[in-house]
């Protein structure tokens, strides 16, 4: 399974999951079986608020799942329509979230967990108090 993680800096499996899908500068894509890591630059980074095009952001990269700290409703719906499952990160690093996902220990993001405002500090990690995803 190919899993995508939004990140600020590509440090492979040691990358930290970025606070929000749409404003992440890049994505790390990991094959859960081989642990092979690839990188995708966010091709929709400068989108207007509320108009993130998640498939454009991924540059055509086909993945099975996305693990995020925060995501807007439009992006979530777009990824779902494309057949991708979106999970809530519960650790800082890609490798830790990968292990949790492989062991079925990450929760799928529900409609009530999406970000609705850009006033929550893009570019900064949102931490991992996931009671309201990225909306604190």
The pLDDT tens digits of the residues spanning 59-78 come to 888 899 999 999 988 889 98
The pLDDT tens digits of the residues spanning 78-97 come to 899 999 999 999 999 999 99
> Does the domain at residues 2-132 carry the CATH identifier 3.30.420.130?
yes
Mean pLDDT value across the chain: 82
What tokens were used for 14?
């040691």
For the chain, the domains span 2-132
Which pLDDT value is given to residue 51?
54
Chain mean position to CA 59:
15
- pLDDT, mean of residues 13-25: 93
């Amino acid at each position: 399974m190919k899993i995508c993680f939004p990140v600020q800096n590509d440090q492979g499996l040691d990358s930290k999951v970025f606070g929000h899908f749409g404003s992440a500068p890049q994505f790390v894509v990991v094959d859960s079986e081989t642990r092979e890591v690839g990188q995708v630059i966010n091709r929709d980074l400068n989108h207007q608020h509320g108009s993130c095009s998640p498939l454009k952001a991924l540059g055509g990269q086909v993945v099975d799942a996305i693990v995020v700290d925060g995501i807007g409703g439009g992006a979530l719906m777009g990824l779902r329509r494309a057949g991708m499952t979106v999970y809530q990160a519960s650790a800082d690093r890609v490798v830790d979230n990968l292990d949790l996902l492989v062991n079925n220990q990450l929760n799928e993001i529900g409609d009530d967990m999406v970000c609705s405002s850009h006033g929550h500090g893009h570019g900064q990690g949102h931490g991992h108090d996931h009671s309201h995803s990225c909306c604190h």
